Structure 1
Amino acid sequence: MLDPSRIRDPITDRLATLRDDERAIEGLPVRLVVSLVVGAACLSVMLNLVNGVGSLAASELDVQPRTEVVETGPQDLTLQVVDAEGGPVSGATVVVDGGTASVDGVATATTGADGNATVSVEPTLGANQERGTLSLDVKPPAGGSFVDRRENSHVLVIRP
């Protein structure tokens, strides 16, 4: 019968005792580090899945201007709010604010059934400024499954 305290060393092909075998001590820290790294990676993936559960049903909104380049002076901007699939969204509030171009205050409008909203603005540029941008933002309709987390499009303002 084989004595369980004695093992065959595969390198020297001789019998050795467990007391003489030091390889387990060398391999243990490496195995612990690998287990820790794999466990941390799995935990990170699971936490991302749990955090994303609430937003899986939510659709990202975007504001698409009909005219992307305008001149300074009074303008009526037509803006369409669309969901992630490109469908129009009604009841969203569009906000136009000065980016690197200036506007007098903040202009807002609510989208209709076709997802369009018209905003009246009068963008101006600084004395030595040839172009600037108007910042577009959208507030999703109440009670919907929409979110606006990403940056939206801008309208480029140029000097005539």
Structure 2
Amino acid sequence: MDLRLSELRGDERAIEGLPVRLVVAFVVGVACLSVMLNLVSGVNTLAASELGAQPTPDVVHPGSRELDVRAVDANGDPVAGVTVVLKPGTARLDDGIAVAKTNENGVASLDVTPRLRANQQEGTLDVTLKPPSGSYTDNRQNTGVLVVEG
């Protein structure tokens, strides 16, 4: 078999089908991968679940009180071990910041004393969640607590 370089340069048959074969192989590979991922159990645990805060009550009056904040995952299930941080928004807190950790029911109890500024009728307290290390995140804004006069 003595092939010359000039003969190979003139042969265009190998290049004609190459792009089509690559596209077909790619589509078949992606389809097979999606089928395999659906068959494997627990693949969804690789993604981080967004946490949400559910303060109770979510509307309060100025003065000392206990405030419960429930940390829930994307399915609404409680999450234990979450650090709940309550910070002043447009309303004030006498202690500046309140911090508590959620129990096995996903609830953190905070003793707070919200205050409004002079001539202010309402204000907010901001809730931030610090998830335990693992598969949780807190990227979205959480439900805050509304402080109203009267």
TM-score (norm: length of structure 2) = 0.68
* 1:78 corresponds to 2:71: no
Runs of 4+ with deviation above 4 angstroms: none
Q: Which whole-Å CA distance do the structure 1 matches of 2:123 and 2:52 have between them?
A: 21
The equivalent of 1:106 in structure 2 is 97
The equivalent of 1:63 in structure 2 is 53
What pairs with 1:1-160 in structure 2 (closer than 5 Å)?
57-103=47-93, 104-142=95-133, 144-160=134-150
Q: Which whole-Å CA distance do the structure 1 matches of 2:46 and 2:56 have between them?
A: 29
Q: Deviations over 1:50-88 (max 9, x none)?
A: xxxxx9610000110121100000011011000000000
The equivalent of 1:29 in structure 2 is none
The equivalent of 1:39 in structure 2 is none
Q: Deviations over 1:113-145 (max 9, x none)?
A: 000010011010011100000000000012x20
Where do 5+ consecutive residues of structure 2 fail to align?
A: 1-44
Q: Which amino acid aligns with 2:101?
A: T
Q: Which amino acid aligns with 1:86?
A: G
Partner-residue secondary structure (3-state), 1:72: coil
Percent identity (aligned): 50
Which structure would you say has the larger RCO, counting Cα contacts within 8 Å and 6 or more residues apart?
A: 2
Partner-residue secondary structure (3-state), 2:141: coil
- C-alpha root-mean-square deviation of aligned residues, in Å? 1.3
